Amino acid sequence: MSDPTATIHDLGYRRYEGPRDGARGAFDALVWQGIRTMFGIGRPFKAKSVPVFVIVVTMLPALATLTAASASGGQMPVPYGILIAPQLLLFVLYGAAQAPEMLSRDQQHRVLPLMLTRDVTRGQYASARLLAMFTAMFVVCLAPLLLLYIGEISIAKQPTAAFARMGGKIGPVLLHATMTAWVIAGVSAALASLTARRAYATAAVIGVFLVVAAITTGLNELAGLPDGVTALLDPIQALRTMALMLFGETTRGMELTPPPPLPLFLVVLVALGAAGAAGLVWRLRRVDL
Amino acid sequence: MTPPLLVARDLTRRYGAVTALDALTVDVDAGITGLVGANGAGKSTFIKILLGLVEPTSGTAALAGHDVCTERDAIRALVGYMPEHDCLPPEMSAAEFVTFMARCSGLPANAARERAAEVLRHVGLFEERYRPMGGYSTGMGQRVKLAQALVHDPRLLILDEPTNGLDPAGRDDMLALIERTGREFGMSVLVSSHLLGELERIAERIVLIEAGRLVRAAPVGVLTGETGTLVVELDADAATLDAFVTGLASRGLAVRLDRQRVLVDIPDGADPAQVAHVHDAVRDAAVACEAGLLRLERRRGHLEDLFASAAA
């Protein structure tokens, strides 16, 4: 961009006769701006802190494991599920911190009514923001798994043979990242759209995930709820158990009481994310301007 | 014939028991129109209905022939809205924000950037436009708000209290900018304010609403035209002034003393001969009490009088 600063001409007002992309263009702009906000791109350093922290911290264990596996000459197995399970809370932290950055801020600074007078309807706004939220979450959730996957293939003595052996593992990698992103994006977007106060929204997202975990654990231990049901009710535990099942790993607890079948997990998680998405749309249809 | 820019018919909006807008019916032509009313008179509700942000409880409104409820798509590109409230994300720069708003109006990315730079220059923001808006003064913020309303080249600007929170100099700048936008850019402007004085300066037409109802809609010239009061100033002391007033009253005229000035009512619908007769009576009374006549003229209306008559 260049400004003719040598002389100041008042060119007068010029009409805009160019193309207008209407709702389509507005939707793209909303998604893009949303993704930028989710990663703090073009924002001060402070806005980048949580995204950078979560991405780095979740990828470090993957990197360490790969280094160890590489040192052992590819003999040490790379445990995807066991590595990703503890990162789930960090993904929740990311959603909790960044969803309000995008959704609560639009209400806090009252940009939402401004957008709605343009080529943006309430429904389009909700779906564009949800898409941005999901895309960003997907990238963050996929990063450590993809690092493990690419790393495991490239450190093998014969990468082509390794690829032939475990090429199909990309399926579970993508599926798990999709499910994690969908659930956390849906739930945190819905909660963030409820309030214009970012701190409340962040606390609400973390609170909901932790409280649900606490309640299901309590029910499991005190009311004797079967482990299988607990694993389904608590989204974090469901994602954890699903990761282990997807990557063919098991824990002692899972050996004692086999978890529910995988499709059931998928159904529950898809429904949970969809409930969040529906909540977001419902809320944004009603929010006062 | 093209339809009037804005047509409202029996526009009503209730919030629970509160009636914000009560059967408002008004036509507005192109040009700069001032929307005047006290706080809570229903200005913002009216504007939000025009923008499609609020649904009317009953009644209809149309902009440039498009119904505001059913033909939103046709209206979006026509209208630019500058809200009363703050709407600037502090961590964004003005350039980024205005570009984003242009894109929300469907302008392609490059065109949006160019238009944003252009309108920001128009409102007088230069190098500052790359700084985060959190550090802007109120005046700069108001300019950005105006810029984002202009960026997609609308045909009608709707400005809700654009001078709110500005100091007198900033107020003058903003009004000049609005006037220029309306006169030179060929845009119609609907500008709301609770301050009549400023609208008197820039608007061609005033729409006055009070408690959600239309009080008057007329060109500024008509509203500030001659009134039925004759202002007389005399070079006289208090005793002579009293004698003058008594003398006029004895000639059958309604007279009031307003400090050093004497106000004489001219009956409604008086023809020129009757007005001349009143003038003669004033002259004769002044001669009778030997007072020097300094000034004799019809008082011009002020928009403030509209409020007085609306309240009465």
User: What CATH number should be reported for the domain holding residue B298?
Assistant: 3.30.70.3400
Within 13 Å and on the Cβ side, how many CA atoms surround A248?
6
Whether B177 and B237 map to the same domain: the answer is: no
Least confident interval from A56-65, A187-196, A215-224, B8-17: A215-224
Q: Do B117 and A118 touch (CB under 8 A)?
A: no
- If you average pLDDT over residues A78-91, what whole number do you get? 92
Q: Give residue-wise pLDDT tens across range B205-218.
A: 999 898 889 988 88
Give the dihedral sign, CA A120/A121/A122/A127.
negative
- The residue whose two tokens read 């759209």 is A193
Whether B219 and B240 map to the same domain: the answer is: no
Q: Classify residue B1: in a domain, yes or no.
A: no
Least confident interval from B15-24, B123-132, B220-229, B275-284: B220-229
What is the reported pTM? 0.84
Mutation target among B107, B146, B148 for the A interface, most CBs of A within 10 A = B107
Which of B76, B87, B132 lies nearest to residue A119, judging by beta carbons?
Answer: B76
- The residue whose two tokens read 């502090």 is B90
Q: Classify residue B160: in a domain, yes or no.
A: yes
- Which has the closest alpha carbon to A187: A88, A112, A110? A88
Query: How far is B220 from B206, CA to CA, in rounded Å?
Result: 6
- Taking only residues 234 to 263 of chain A, the set having a beta carbon closer than 8 angstroms to any beta carbon of chain B reads none
Q: Give residue-wise pLDDT tens across range A85-132.
A: 999 999 999 999 999 999 999 999 999 999 999 999 999 999 999 999
Smallest Cα distance from B30 to chain A, Å: 18
Q: Classify residue B255: in a domain, yes or no.
A: yes
- The residue whose two tokens read 């301007």 is A289
Q: Which residue has the higher pLDDT, B97 or B264?
A: B97
Q: Give residue-wise pLDDT tens across range B253-296.
A: 888 887 778 888 877 666 778 888 888 888 888 888 888 888 88
Q: Give residue-wise pLDDT tens across range B137-168.
A: 999 999 999 999 999 999 999 999 999 889 99
Q: Could you give the percent of chain B with pLDDT greater than 90?
A: 48
Smallest Cα distance from A9 to chain B, Å: 11
DSSP conformation class of B133: G
- If you average pLDDT over residues A40-48, what whole number do you get? 87
Residue in B closest to A24 by C-alpha:
B106
Predicted pLDDT of residue B269: 67
Residues 6+ apart with CB under 8 A from A76: A68, A69
Whether B210 and B93 map to the same domain: the answer is: yes
Q: Is pLDDT of B312 > 80?
A: no
Q: Do A13 and B122 touch (CB under 8 A)?
A: yes
- The residue whose two tokens read 């009311």 is A223
Ramachandran region of residue B124, left (φ > 0), alpha (ψ -120 to 50) or beta? left
Residue at which a domain ends, from B198, B223, B248: B223
Chain A residues within an 8 Å CB radius of B115? 16
Predicted pLDDT of residue B106: 93
Smallest Cα distance from A275 to chain B, Å: 27
Q: Is pLDDT of A222 > 90?
A: no
Instruction: Please tell me if residue A42 touches chain B, with a CB cutoff of 8 Å.
Output: yes
Whether B260 and B154 map to the same domain: the answer is: no
Which of B48, B87, B106 lies nearest to residue A20, judging by beta carbons?
Answer: B106
Q: Is pLDDT of B27 > 60?
A: yes
Q: What is the mean pLDDT of chain A?
A: 90
Q: Bridge partners of A1?
A: none
Whether B197 and B57 map to the same domain: the answer is: yes
Percentages helix, strand, coil for chain A (3-state, rounded to 5) are 75, 0, 25
Residue at B249: amino acid letter:
A
CATH number (domain holding residue B155): 3.40.50.300
Tally of domains in chain B:
2
Chain A residues within an 8 Å CB radius of B48? 289
Chain A residues within an 8 Å CB radius of B16? none
- The secondary structure element, H or E, covering residue A64 is helix A45-71
Whether B99 and B190 map to the same domain: the answer is: yes
Domains in chain A: boundaries: 22-286
Predicted pLDDT of residue A265: 94
Whole-number CA gyration radius for chain A: 22
Core vs surface per residue B156-183: b (16+ CB within 10 A) or e: bbbbbbbbbebeeebbebbbebbbebbe
Q: pLDDT-derived band of residue A7, with 50, 70 and 90 as boundaries? A: very low
Predicted pLDDT of residue A164: 83
Range of the domain at B272: 226-311
Q: Which residue has the higher pLDDT, A89 or B184?
A: A89
Q: Is pLDDT of A23 > 50?
A: yes
Predicted pLDDT of residue A3: 47
Residue at which a domain ends, from B223, B256, B277: B223
ipTM: 0.87
Least confident interval from A8-12, A99-103, A185-189, B148-152: A8-12
Q: Is pLDDT of A8 > 50?
A: no
> Could you tell me the two tokens for A114?
């401004």
**CA distances (Å), origin A237, targets A84, A86, A131, A208:** 12, 10, 25, 14
Smallest Cα distance from B108 to chain A, Å: 7
Q: pLDDT-derived band of residue B113, with 50, 70 and 90 as boundaries? A: very high
Q: Do A26 and B86 touch (CB under 8 A)?
A: no
Q: Which residue has the higher pLDDT, B233 or B268?
A: B233
Predicted pLDDT of residue B306: 61
Q: pLDDT-derived band of residue A206, with 50, 70 and 90 as boundaries? A: very high
Q: Which residue has the higher pLDDT, B212 or B224?
A: B212
Chain B residues within an 8 Å CB radius of A115? 101, 104
Predicted pLDDT of residue A9: 47
Highest mean pLDDT pick, A96-100, A155-159, B258-262, B305-309: A96-100
Length of chain A: 289
Query: How many of the other CB atoms lie within 10 Å of CB of A244?
Result: 19
Which of B89, B104, B181 lies nearest to residue A29, judging by beta carbons?
Answer: B104
Q: pLDDT-derived band of residue A162, with 50, 70 and 90 as boundaries? A: confident
Residue at which a domain ends, from B170, B205, B223: B223
